[in-house]
Structure 1
Amino acid sequence: MKILILAHHAEGLYLPRRELMMQLKAAGHTVIASIPRGKCYEKVAAIVDEVIETPVQRRGMNPIKDLRLIFFYRRLLKQYKPDCILSFAIKPNLYGGMMGRWYHIPYLMNVTGLGTAFAKDNLLCKVATFLYKLVAGHEQTIFFQNEGNRLTLERHGVFWKNPVLIPGSGVNLNLHKFEEYPSDEDSIKFVFVSRILKEKGIYELAEAAREIRKEYQNVEFHVLGKCEDGYEKVVKKWHKEGIVIYHGHQNDVHEYLKKAHALIHPSYYPEGMSNVCLEASATGRPVITTCDIYGCKETIEDGVTGLGVKARNVQDLYSAIVKFINLPYEEKKKMGIAARKKMENEFDRRIVIRAYQREIQQIEGK
């Protein structure tokens, strides 16, 4: 089969889905990827048969640019005539889905998150609901990474023929291998790994860290990630004050996870499934994350593999961090071992690949 992949970010396609692309190629399919040029673009090109530079803006809704993207996808489908479309993220899902429906091409849509479109009942929400209704019902399969995204769409009247729940993008257990738990005799290291955004809980982390640093001199808060929307100035200010240690964007996150005693991820961003929570857990590190946010709460078992905190609640986050600091070393280590086991049982990336293989085989059968 000729399979066309639509994504809004080269790195976002390569890092969590390179194994899927490799498996599709190994099965004898012709794989074409439509992505914007950027980091990991060439790595995607080294796997697939052809990569097409595509004008996708990850964030914002510009009607003119979005219309251009729709027509770009239309030309793409006319030219390549794929047997199946795989799409990831909002714009490829919606605009690629619209064109897939127009040309009667089966597609497998992956809802990697709903973004902020459904945060408020406003014009953006109404437009997004309308677009989802346009594509709903035609698709071969829609993959949801968490139950909350499906329920949100259904509350807005969007229903699907074949919804399938998958464990996010899964985690490569060989790449993110289990690491021995580090000693905490000299210091206790927490790590935050994310795009630096308000919705990722960075302000809550900084406020909690400020108070903890006053009480515990041997505790460090390491922050990794690219600053977006002008956050760099405030993060560097926290770094200068000694509240956090900011490392900027890092390619090799595993090395930082390996040295940490726990990951802190107080996100309330409406995502599909937190990859960093999966990667930290696979490494054998406990995770402190939001227990009331879909895409985060599924990644831990509170008190067993990590600690759950309420979103947007500095006091709750502070209390959880202090609780973790005061746990006996063997309890921390035991949490990390349980976290790895949870990943092996529930979030192995091979589970996700098998789900795609089943659906593609059904399309081939038809």
Structure 2
Amino acid sequence: MKLLFCDNTIWGLINFREAVFRHFHEQGYEIVLVAPSDEKTRMKTVVPDYVRFVPVYLERAGRNPLTDVSYLLCLLRIYQRERPDWIFHYTIKPNIYGTLAARLLGIRSVAMVAGLGYTFAKQGLTGSIARALYRFALRYACRVFVLNEENLNTLITHHIASAAKLVLLKSGEGVDTELLQEGKIEKYDRRTT
């Protein structure tokens, strides 16, 4: 069985979710990670040898619809080639475009909403478009995982995701908090991306 995890940084995938990958690997799953490489940052993420990393180009904060369409098409190619059994998406653009790509290919996917961030705080056209894209894409996710009741209630109140698909992970998503406490996770400098 193959699991694919897609995020907007390889740093975030490895540093926050490596314990999850290790668990599934120990259960016999093949693990594939899809994210931008660290080339634009000062971070040097070490990818474990038991996972396969497929780099992808993504403008995390970009607003150019052509680059977003290019990202969607790239995910379609990767997902079609990999044919995973499940895909787990993290952060807004993978949640939107990755979920749509998975749906187009008939692959089961989960959207992980760790926080709603600027998507719901931002007023005006950009915020409205982001919320509309989220509403459209999340209807195709098999499940939508959230980490707190505030996000759960916001997604229901704004009709972004149906209550039947929402899963509140009260105990978190598997982040190894001991690594954070021990200072083994290097701080990510968002200014460099």
TM-score grouping bracket, smaller chain normalisation: 0.7 to 0.9
Aligned position for 2:103: 101
Q: Which residue of 2 aligns with 1:67?
A: 69
Q: Which structure is larger by alpha-carbon Rg, 1 or 2?
A: 1
1:199-348 alignment, distance < 5 Å: 226=189, 228=191
Q: What is the rounded CA distance, in whole Å, between the counterparts of 1:227 and 1:30 in structure 2?
A: 30
Match of 2:80 in 1: 78
Answer with 110-119 or 21-30: which moved more.
110-119
Measured in 1, the distance between the counterparts of 2:9 and 2:25 equals: 20
Q: 1:44 aligns with which of 47, 55, 60?
A: 47
Structure 2 CA distance for aligned equivalents of residues 137 and 19 of structure 1:
29
Change (3 A) 1:90 1:177: closer
Aligned position for 1:25 = 25
**Mean CA deviation greater in 99-108 or 18-27:** 99-108
| Residues 1:175 and 2:186 are matched in the alignment | no
Amino acid at match of 2:113: V
Distance 1:69 1:227 in 2: 20
Query: Could you list the per-position Cα deviations for residues 323-343 of structure 1 after superposition, in whole angstroms to 9, with x for gaps in the alignment?
Result: xxxxxxxxxxxxxxxxxxxxx
**Once superposed, what is the RMSD of the aligned Cα atoms?**
2.3
Q: 1:47 offset after TM fit, Å?
A: 3.5
Q: 1:67 to 1:23 in 2, by over 3 A?
A: same
Q: Deviations over 1:98-148 (max 9, x none)?
A: 111112211121112222121144212221222122223332221101222
Alpha-carbon separation, structure 2, partners of 1:158 and 1:225: 29
User: What SS class does the counterpart of residue 46 from structure 1 fall into?
Assistant: coil
Question: What is the TM-score of this pair, normalised by structure 2?
Answer: 0.83
Deviations 1:27-83 (A, max 9, x none): 111111111111354x225231x2111102222322121111000011112111111
Which whole-Å CA distance do the structure 1 matches of 2:23 and 2:6 have between them?
Answer: 17
Letter matched to residue 47 of structure 2: V
Q: Which structure is higher in RCO with an 8 Å CA cutoff and minimum separation 6? A: 2
Range that drifts further, 157-166 or 30-39: 157-166
- Deviation sequence 1:12-32 (CA, Å, 0-9, x none): 111110000111111111111
For residues 5 and 84 of structure 1, the distance between their equivalents in structure 2, rounded to whole angstroms, comes to 9
Long gaps (5+) in structure 1: 179-223, 230-366
Aligned mates of 1:35, 1:122 — CA distance in 2:
29
Matches of 1:227 and 1:109, distance apart in 2: 22
Mark the runs of 5 or more structure 2 residues left unpaired by the alignment. Answer: none
